[in-house]
Amino acid sequence: MSAHPAILSWPADNLDDLPLALWDAETIASATHGRVSRAFQCAGVEIDSRDVREGDLFFALKGEATDGHRFLDAAFANGAAAAVVDRPIAQPHILVGDTTRALEALGQAARDRMQGTVIGVTGSVGKTGVKEALFAALDRSSRGAAHRSVKSYNNHVGVPLSLARMPVRSAFGIFEMGMNHAGEISALTAQVRPHVAVITTIAPAHIENLGSEKAIADAKAEIFEGLLPGGTAIIPADSPHFQRLRRRADAQGAKVVSFGTAAHADVRLLDSVPASNGGSLVTADMGDRRICYTVAAAGEHWIANSLAVMAAVRAAGGDLGAAGLSLAEMAGLAGRGARLRIDLGGGRSALLIDESYNANPASMRATLAQLGQTEAKRKIAVLGAMKELGDFTPAFHTALIDPLVASGAQIAILVGQEMEVLAQELGKCGESVLGKAVRFAHCRDTEEAIRALDDIGLEDGDAVLVKGSNSMGLARLVARFSAKEG
């Protein structure tokens, strides 16, 4: 029986010859210079035994506080196919001298074999959201062939782990890079080796360790050091550090594409109007064309983020139409702008804006402005302390009074010792510019804040913004009240 001519003429794809399994034992051993106990294949890579799924490769990493080898039994009980270890075990394994170095080596092997386009994302604010938006856009246009770092896996462990998880058939890889100190992004970008490098914005996050915004800009600009020849640097045109970033990109021979509202921006905002879903309808000029699209996520900061996404998608050879559709569908992420409708019973409800994952002065201003644009009968701001601000801590917390008052919040719950200075300022100001004083409570921790919000009581039509550094644990407050989500 002869084959149908259409089958015989089916176009060949270079990816057809690539393996379907993520890794096999011999490939892992070759990459890590390890020794194989027996043959196996794996479908994923994991470093936390609690997250292991059937067919995963478990890396028994050693940290300052614990040793992953203690959790080998749990990993295999959860379905691990094999483990990377520094001592022989009875189960299938790869024996190496250092499991952390082995993870880095496997990440490099994944990057070496990947034939698609890689995008690196960093910035003081918005990098996780931009990373997720880029993934949504490129995954749509490539029909599922995009890969990205999950959660906020953006450090010296998260980046090699995210690389090691990248399938060989990936058409796009999007990786987030974070830092607390100078030099950290330099090490990460050397592993990622992006074709496109995005800096979302520069703000005083981690200023305690770096000392100034200029130093923060220099640390973020380290991402350009890893750009491949002919690569593109995407930078914020409205930043006061634009020229500083541009010089660093130019020094690496990068093509620079800027985004923002400035007249010199390559991807320039022409207009934005509120959309019915709380987002924005955006019109932008990309030089040779104008595009119009909807951004589902609320807030002016997401308008800027969307411009960065469009610039990066185009630089990566992606589909701008798919990017626009993805932005229109992408609501806020958990801890990063998710809007939760709280069912109060009897047809009554309140809105909770979950920004509990992170906070710095720039993101605080942006989310308070978002609260100001939110229609509500009553506005409540639950604000947790901002960390890693060093000697700038009192000044930055005190400076929140103007955006807080401008937001129209009638009630503020301030959480953490650092918020005491803001509580003192609120106590002094009396009547606000709107003619009513902002009621406030200063709480030591999240448990007190939960009780304070319980005492206030949610009412129909309320909008509650929850914002603070992750270490404040305000996610517990979100979980407590979102349990009633409708």
Contact 114/166 with Cβ under 8 angstroms?
yes
Percentage of the chain surpassing pLDDT 70?
A: 92
pLDDT at residue 126, rounded to an integer: 87
Q: Looking at the predicted structure, is the pLDDT value of residue 434 above 50?
A: no
pLDDT at residue 337, rounded to an integer: 80
* pLDDT tens by residue, 380-422: 999 999 988 888 899 999 999 999 999 999 999 999 999 999 9
* pLDDT tens by residue, 55-83: 999 999 998 888 999 999 999 999 999 99
Strand, helix or coil for residue 37: coil
* pLDDT tens by residue, 121-159: 999 888 999 999 999 999 999 999 999 998 778 999 999
How far is it, in rounded angstroms, from Cα 346 to Cα 91?
A: 56
The region of weakest confidence among 3-17, 267-281, 351-365 is 3-17
Mean residue pLDDT of the chain comes to 91
Confidence class of residue 6 from pLDDT cuts 50, 70 and 90? low
Distances (CA, A) of 275 to 179, 278, 297: 35, 6, 10
| CB burial readout 299-325, b (16+ within 10 A) else e | bebbbbbbbbbbbbbbbbebbbebbbb
Contact 234/315 with Cβ under 8 angstroms?
yes
* pLDDT tens by residue, 185-198: 999 999 999 999 99
Strand, helix or coil for residue 415: strand
Strand, helix or coil for residue 247: helix
Q: Looking at the predicted structure, is the pLDDT value of residue 433 above 70?
A: no
pLDDT at residue 17, rounded to an integer: 60
pLDDT at residue 486, rounded to an integer: 42
pLDDT at residue 483, rounded to an integer: 74
How far is it, in rounded angstroms, from Cα 48 to Cα 177?
A: 20
Question: Which residue is associated with the tokens 């990057």?
Answer: 111
Percentage of the chain surpassing pLDDT 90?
A: 75
Q: Which residue has the higher pLDDT, 290 or 16?
A: 290
Q: Please give the single-letter amino acid code of residue 209.
A: N
Q: Looking at the predicted structure, is the pLDDT value of residue 311 above 60?
A: yes
Q: What is the mean pLDDT of residues 199-225?
A: 86
